[in-house]
Amino acid sequence: MDIINVYNKLIEKIKAKNILKDEPMYKHTSFKIGGPTDLMVLPYSIEEVKHAIKVCKEYDVDYYIMGNGSNLLVRDKGIRGVVIKIAENFNKVEINGNEVTAQAGVLLSVLSNIVANKSLKGFEFASGIPGTLGGAVAMNAGAYGGEIKDVLVGATVIDDKGNIIYLNNESLELGYRESIIQRKGFVVLEVKMQFEKGDYSEIKEKIKDFTQRRTTKQPLSLPSAGSTFKRPPGYYAGKLIEDAGLKGVRVGGAQVSTLHSGFIVNVDKATAEDVILLMELVQKTVRDKFGVLLNPEVKIIGQV
């Protein structure tokens, strides 16, 4: 792979300061774990995203598109190829009456407050979800009885050939932590949502309540990727893990949280290998004790 040629082609349409070489991925994940990627691109427009994908295709270079890294575990050897990061560099928001159009990189916590400040209700549930809007749409993120699909009108996505496609709510096929975006490998660029007018003080009170519940019940002071496993039908992952006697169990610097067993946290310079081994231990123990298979919610990427 001729990464120099890829870099030179990228800077034809993307500023050099927005292309990082040998960038450590631990700086870009909430786990604070991960080796370097050959190149990281920080696009500021749809055209720059298209250009980055086109260049990677032209040079047959692997690429991965990420948000703010809140649901990501990058392996210790890092990522060969190009990482395209759609996060704080891609976060414009427009509000027209009850309709909100936002770029995929805006943080849910930020967008929730913007929406609340316009006295629009229905997005309070998203106030404490630690991710970007694009990632939230891709996995139909939800909390406290609300889901993205409840407020979504549609999303503009890009496919692996660089085609821009608009999909309405129904076409996105949003289910429990899944969508057509994941199945087809689409990347969300822009999202359109609709809300109802509400009472400002009631909206703010709801956000305050949800925030308090999260801060008292989740280990937010330690690096993690949020809930490590998806909720299995009929069960709660955290309760299964706790009932299996795994609360507080460690592998290297990774630990099953002592506050909430559904989280694996980085307590002491954990490596990706530490986390993966602990995840496997949790899966095996829960399967052996209860016959339930826990599927990871955290995405694991990078060179093995």
Q: Give me the domains of the chain, ranges plus CATH numbers.
A: 3-85 (3.30.43.10), 93-215 (3.30.465.10), 219-301 (3.90.78.10)
pLDDT for 211: 87
pLDDT for 161: 85
Q: Which of 70, 112, 224, 227 is catalytic?
A: 227
Mean pLDDT lowest for which of 68-72, 128-132, 221-225, 274-278?
Answer: 128-132
Active site residue 171: no
Report whether pLDDT(1) > 80: no
CA distance 228 to 303: 20
pLDDT for 217: 85
Report pLDDT digits (tens) over 5-20: 999 999 999 999 999 9
Average pLDDT (39-59) is 95
Tell me the whole-structure pTM to 2 decimals. 0.89
Active site residue 30: no
pLDDT for 87: 93
Active site residue 183: no
Whole-number percent of the chain with pLDDT over 70: 100
pLDDT for 294: 98
Asked whether the beta carbons of 178 and 231 are under 8 A apart, the reply is: no
Q: Which of 177, 214, 231, 250 is catalytic?
A: 177
Report pLDDT digits (tens) over 195-216: 999 999 999 999 999 988 888 8
Report whether pLDDT(58) > 70: yes
pLDDT for 170: 94
Q: How sure is the predictor about 129, in pLDDT bands with cuts at 50, 70 and 90?
A: confident
